[in-house]
Chain A
């Protein structure tokens, strides 16, 4: 599996994401002005503050040239994982439903959270067992997942809430403790916590590796 990790001006977790991907496959960085994905078979949109998060987090990044290529890749069924700011970018790009609003606390929250794996059938969670608790850090100021009630009901009914904050550990006020969702087709995922920071025992947890492991095990799409 060859991963492409997008780097925008203002990204800050792209190197950790790159190193996490390299534990399970090949990976290279893609620049925001790239108009193609250099043959990547899975794309990671990392965390950070793309274009300074001016206007709204992800609002400017979604119009970058590389995102046009990512949207096309996703439309063709290619797997795309958005982490934190990457989740915000994917929502702004309408590749995922909903929006990430300022934390209910109005504070930047940085803490280790536990995530309940609600759906182990997705391309991103297949290496997990149902009910697994993943210990992964979350660090953000605008991570409160919001969607209209009907949309939330639909996400739940279709099993698209792949990851949920464990009871009492919701750091941002997300509706229904939602931490990570997948799109209709199941090939695009966004989550606020940072699996790329939880791939080495040195930093306390290797649970985040499950997501990259799941992706690496996918059958790459025919070019």
Chain B
């Protein structure tokens, strides 16, 4: 089973990467973009998707400063790997 975990800084936690990108966008002609937050994406194949939240709590995310969303994508190849 494919699953995808989106991890991002919690609201209220300073995200200097997001701020740097937000400052860079107008310089490239992209106005009107705000609240940029940068996180990471973990894709994985798991036998039991119900275990993914526990994986997030223990390893994939730091729940103190990050929030995560788990998306179960069903069967099939993980993006980018050969079908």
Shortest distance in angstroms between B62's beta carbon and chain A's nearest beta carbon? 6
B17 A101 Cβ-Cβ under 8 A: no
Q: Indicate whether A15 reaches chain B with its CB closer than 8 angstroms.
A: no
In the complex, which of the residues A55, A102, A173 contacts B17, with contact meaning CB atoms closer than 8 Å? A102
Look across to chain B and name the residue whose beta carbon is closest to the beta carbon of A58. Answer: B62
User: What are the residues of chain A within 8 A of B46 when measuring CB–CB?
Assistant: none
Are B62's CB and A99's CB within 8 A? yes
Please report the number of residue pairs spanning A and B whose Cβ atoms sit closer than 8 angstroms.
31
- CB <8 Å contact, A92 and B62: yes
Chain B interface bracket (under 10, 10 to 19, 20 to 34, 35 or more):
10 to 19
**Closest beta carbon of chain B to A56's beta carbon, Å:** 6
Question: Which residues 1-54 of B have a CB within 8 angstroms of A?
Answer: 13-14, 16-17, 20
A30 to B17, CA, bound (A): 36
A residues within 8 A CB of B73?
none
Q: Which of A59, A98, A99, A105 contacts B16 (CB 8 A)?
A: A105
Minimal Cβ-Cβ distance residue in B for A151: B64
Q: Across the interface, do A101 and B65 meet the contact criterion of CB distance under 8 Å?
A: yes
Contact code string A61-100 (vs B, CB < 8 Å = 1, else 0): 0010000000000000000000000000000100000110
CB<8 Å pairs between A and B, sample of 22? A55-B59, A55-B60, A56-B62, A63-B59, A98-B64, A99-B62, A99-B64, A99-B65, A101-B14, A101-B65, A102-B17, A103-B16, A104-B14, A104-B16, A105-B16, A106-B16, A106-B17, A106-B20, A144-B14, A148-B64, A173-B14, A173-B16
Interface residues of B (CB under 8 A from A): 13-14, 16-17, 20, 59-60, 62, 64-65
The residues of A with any CB-CB pair to B shorter than 8 Å are 55-56, 59, 63, 92, 98-99, 101-106, 144, 146-148, 173
User: Told that A101-B13, A102-B17, A146-B65 touch, could you supply 11 new A-B pairs with CB distance under 8 A?
Assistant: A55-B59, A55-B60, A102-B16, A103-B16, A104-B14, A106-B17, A106-B20, A144-B14, A146-B14, A148-B64, A173-B16
